[in-house]
Chains A and B, each alone.
Chain A
Amino acid sequence: MDKNANKSRHDSLETKERLKIKKHEMQCQPPEERRHNFKEVPYGYSPEEAVEEAKRCIQCKRPYCIEGCPVNIDIPAFIKLIEEGDFLGAAKKIKETNSLPAICGRVCPQEDQCEKVCTIGKRKDTPSVAIGNLERFAADYESKYGDIHIETNKGKGKKIAVVGGGPAGLTVAGDLCKMGYSVSIFEALHEIGGVLMYGIPEFRLPKEILLRELKVLEDMGVEIFTNEVIGKTMTIDELLNERGYSAVFIGTGAGTPRFLNIPGEELNGVYSANEFLTRVNLMRAYNKSEYDTPIKCGKTLVVFGAGNTAMDAVRTGLRLGYDDARIFYRRSRKEMTARLEEVHHAEEEGVKFEFLINPIRFIGDENHNVTAVECERMELGEPDESGRRRPIPIKGSEFITPIDAAVIAIGTNVNPIVPTSTPGMNLNKWGYIIADENTGKTTKKGVFAGGDIVTGAATVILAMGAGKKAAVAIDKYLETGIW
């Protein structure tokens, strides 16, 4: 980077001046309106707002934000380009390291990553630069006005199979394609995208944006096969030995929903978050007139859990027409794992949060439909292995809440299909694939893995980070032949 040029451009505005600019929040659909529709909540920045927000970045010498980003985007550089009005340049800058910026700008937990370590955010009176909002702005601007063309090298002459079309797989595919490999993605569902397609709702990540990013990959030459359940339709060994792939990347996600294992959980109307969200997102059950997959609606919905998936489920419930949509969480507000913005949006929309509550059993009617849930109140004890204070039941605090549906959003276990059909690939005690943190290498030659299938349920961006590292390692392996 030309440091002098950098300095001169920034001389136009003193750091002191920059620190005086107020943080720009994105304009949003009013809560009263949006709780009844599936359209995206924030409208995004206007170009003027983006430039103003970009001016808040002081271009510090040691940009902690880059280290805070799992894929190490050159954040100060793209923000500077936005400030200068070169929005397409900003998007291009981000795309050097992140192939899915429109998605990350929307779903990354920035407050735990880049924005957490932002220098000005550490001061008392100045909130962090809204890096996520700016990333989203640049990506959306490019998709509207830019001519997305990504240069790919040609002629590496080797084929790579990517198993699972979610965030990790899409990243590996994009990066390897750029390097000049022929890449095929094998997706189990009828639409690619993984959790971005079946899990994250339209109002948080419009499908149109996902499809746009997928089209970029296809235009680059990535081959996409849907309806291919690797481990069933064909195995990892067949991909390597019979289908001519030189390496395989496994990014199949965590996938299998956890249940509470309490009486009555088998009643109709008790859903896993994955089922509830898949019906609505992948199968578009909310659009009854055009799509065939059904979903029920009622008066009261309770969602158990306090992560992003729980927020997605409870807000989806409101939009389906539940009058009363609540979160029941066994710990306290402080321990919630959802993005702050999602919690904030949910509260604005009228979701009720009830803390320190643990379900004991579901109660049903003669038709086997759930009608109520019995819970007990909890108090916080000593910290547990996760470092959070362990919730302990309060004796005699049981109470019954009438409900029409319940969604269990307490996490996932490993999906067994790929791990158990791939001999020679070691698994940890929970069944997740053992893979090197820096390369994604598994214990099976030629096979790499990353994302939730290695770490257990985590975030989109961490899966993408694992994908990036694996792409580099796959290239190195195929160039040198050294495992």
Chain B
Amino acid sequence: MYEIVGKKNLGEGINLYNISAPDVALKAQPGQFIILRVNKNGERVPITIANSDKNDKTVTILVQTLGKTTHLLSELNVGDSLADVVGPLGVPTEIEKFGTVVCVGGGFGIAAIYPIAKALKSAGNNVISIIGARSKELLLMEDEMRSASSEVLVATNDGSYGTKGIVTDVLRELIYDKKIQIDKVIAIGPVIMMKAVSDLTREKSIKTTVSLNPIMIDGTGMCGACRVLVDKKTKFACVDGPDFDGHLVDFDNLMNRLKFYKEEEKASYECHMKQHHKV
């Protein structure tokens, strides 16, 4: 069993969990993910590792409460356990000395990009991070990102903090107005954001890595549910990714595949809420 040893509410239904998973914590590298099941009848859900601690033997994940599974998870507290945690899965993000690397994290993607920024900085890169949220209160992990970057730029949709707008606006400014020489961009966030970032960097041929999170079941290459189109070829996000060249990813296909079970997910959530919460 995998015990929850820490839990923190970060607002807007987002929770941070520290989960005891010794074997996973020992091995986790930036860019990798776990698959968890909340209980014995639950589905397998892939979640990017936001941090891992080899001493405490824990992994940290951030999860937004959206459907039944994440709701069940949100009801668990410190001392409760998850049925399953498996990982670290996926190929780790390539960490090298590239020069100047821009890490773009949108909303929830900030949790995923944090360990990557940290590792890139340790590898001697000049890390400029662009992080975005709808408003100031919803901005995640700002302090952590500051410690992992040389410079942090913020964008909020409502303008309550940093630039008013979205992360791509800030990136465009870096490329076109400030004319900063960028050696690599890593973008993690909503699919639409990763697509916009990739479109922008394609103009200047700046190498861009994105991290994809399609529907998965086993996460070990066995089922093919997570297949994505990269350079028109079928790739499995679980074993070939989750990182891919943003200029070659078919983002529209990914968005469409992510929608496939929307109805079932909604029905399952409503049924769960009716049974357990008397809505």
Partner of B87, one of A229, A292, A293, A415: A229
Binds B, one of A109-117, A273-281, A326-334, A473-481: A273-281
Q: Is the CB of B221 within 8 A of A266?
A: no
Q: Is the CB of B27 within 8 A of A232?
A: yes
Count A interface residues, CB 8 Å: 42
A-B contact count (CB 8 A): 120
Alpha-carbon distance between A392 and B264 when the two chains are bound, in angstroms? 41
Asked if A283 CB lies within 8 Å of chain B CBs, one says: yes
Binds B, one of A100-108, A177-185, A253-261: A253-261
Partner of B41, one of A265, A271, A290, A296: A290
Q: Is the CB of B84 within 8 A of A259?
A: no
**A294-B265 contact in complex given A190-B83, A228-B23, A275-B225, C-beta closer than 8 Å:** yes
Alpha-carbon distance between A238 and B27 when the two chains are bound, in angstroms? 12
- Pick the most buried of A232, A234, A278: most chain B CB atoms within 10 A of its CB: A232
CB neighbours of A272 from chain B (8 A): 223-225
Q: Is the CB of B23 within 8 A of A233?
A: yes
- Pick the most buried of A226, A233, A369, A416: most chain B CB atoms within 10 A of its CB: A233
Partner of A275, one of B24, B27, B223: B223
Asked if A198 CB lies within 8 Å of chain B CBs, one says: yes
Alpha-carbon distance between A294 and B41 when the two chains are bound, in angstroms? 12
Alpha-carbon distance between A251 and B137 when the two chains are bound, in angstroms? 50
Partner of B221, one of A255, A291, A292: A255
**A256-B43 contact in complex given A189-B218, A292-B68, A294-B261, C-beta closer than 8 Å:** no
Q: Is the CB of B220 within 8 A of A229?
A: yes
- Residue-wise interface mask of A (385-417) relative to B, using a CB-CB cutoff of 8 A (1 in contact, 0 not): 000000000000000000000000000000111
CB neighbours of A229 from chain B (8 A): 86-87, 89, 220
CB neighbours of A256 from chain B (8 A): 221-222, 224, 236, 239
Partner of A368, one of B87, B239, B256: B256
Shortest distance between the CB of B21 and any CB in chain A (Å): 9
Q: Is the CB of A268 within 8 A of B260?
A: yes
Asked if A138 CB lies within 8 Å of chain B CBs, one says: no
- Residue-wise interface mask of B (200-230) relative to A, using a CB-CB cutoff of 8 A (1 in contact, 0 not): 0000000000000000011011111101010
CB neighbours of B43 from chain A (8 A): 283, 292-294
Q: Is the CB of B239 within 8 A of A417?
A: yes
CB neighbours of B23 from chain A (8 A): 228, 233-234
Asked if A12 CB lies within 8 Å of chain B CBs, one says: no
* Closest A residue, CB atoms, query B220: A188
Q: Which of A163-219 contact B (CB under 8 A)?
A: 188-190, 198
CB neighbours of B77 from chain A (8 A): none
Count B interface residues, CB 8 Å: 40
**A415-B217 contact in complex given A229-B87, A232-B87, C-beta closer than 8 Å:** no
Alpha-carbon distance between A275 and B224 when the two chains are bound, in angstroms? 6
Asked if A438 CB lies within 8 Å of chain B CBs, one says: no
Alpha-carbon distance between A190 and B43 when the two chains are bound, in angstroms? 11
Q: Is the CB of B264 within 8 A of A294?
A: yes
Q: Is the CB of A232 within 8 A of B89?
A: yes
Asked if B121 CB lies within 8 Å of chain A CBs, one says: no
Q: Is the CB of A416 within 8 A of B239?
A: yes
Alpha-carbon distance between A57 and B236 when the two chains are bound, in angstroms? 51
**A259-B224 contact in complex given A233-B87, A416-B239, C-beta closer than 8 Å:** yes
Alpha-carbon distance between A259 and B223 when the two chains are bound, in angstroms? 11
CB neighbours of A428 from chain B (8 A): none
Q: Is the CB of A233 within 8 A of B223?
A: no
Shortest distance between the CB of B119 and any CB in chain A (Å): 18
Alpha-carbon distance between A268 and B257 when the two chains are bound, in angstroms? 6
Shortest distance between the CB of A26 and any CB in chain B (Å): 32
CB neighbours of B88 from chain A (8 A): 232-233
* Closest B residue, CB atoms, query A228: B23
Alpha-carbon distance between A63 and B130 when the two chains are bound, in angstroms? 75
Asked if A8 CB lies within 8 Å of chain B CBs, one says: no
Alpha-carbon distance between A189 and B86 when the two chains are bound, in angstroms? 8
* Closest B residue, CB atoms, query A260: B234
* Closest A residue, CB atoms, query B222: A255
Asked if A46 CB lies within 8 Å of chain B CBs, one says: no
Asked if A367 CB lies within 8 Å of chain B CBs, one says: yes
Alpha-carbon distance between A188 and B37 when the two chains are bound, in angstroms? 14
Asked if B69 CB lies within 8 Å of chain A CBs, one says: yes
Asked if A227 CB lies within 8 Å of chain B CBs, one says: yes
Shortest distance between the CB of B148 and any CB in chain A (Å): 24
16 contacts between A and B (CB under 8 A): A198-B222, A226-B84, A232-B220, A233-B23, A234-B27, A253-B222, A256-B239, A259-B234, A266-B227, A269-B260, A278-B217, A278-B218, A278-B223, A368-B259, A369-B260, A415-B221
Binding site for B on A (CB under 8 A): 188-190, 198, 226-229, 232-234, 253, 255-257, 259, 261, 265-266, 268-269, 271-272, 274-275, 278-279, 282-284, 290-294, 296, 367-369, 415-417
A-B pairs with lowest CB-CB distance, top 8: A368-B256, A294-B264, A272-B224, A227-B86, A275-B223, A268-B260, A292-B43, A293-B43
4 other A-B residue contacts (CB within 8 Å) besides A233-B23, A257-B222: A229-B86, A232-B27, A255-B220, A256-B224
Binding site for A on B (CB under 8 A): 23-24, 27, 37, 41-44, 68-69, 83-89, 217-218, 220-225, 227, 229, 234, 236, 239, 250, 253, 256-257, 259-261, 264-265, 268
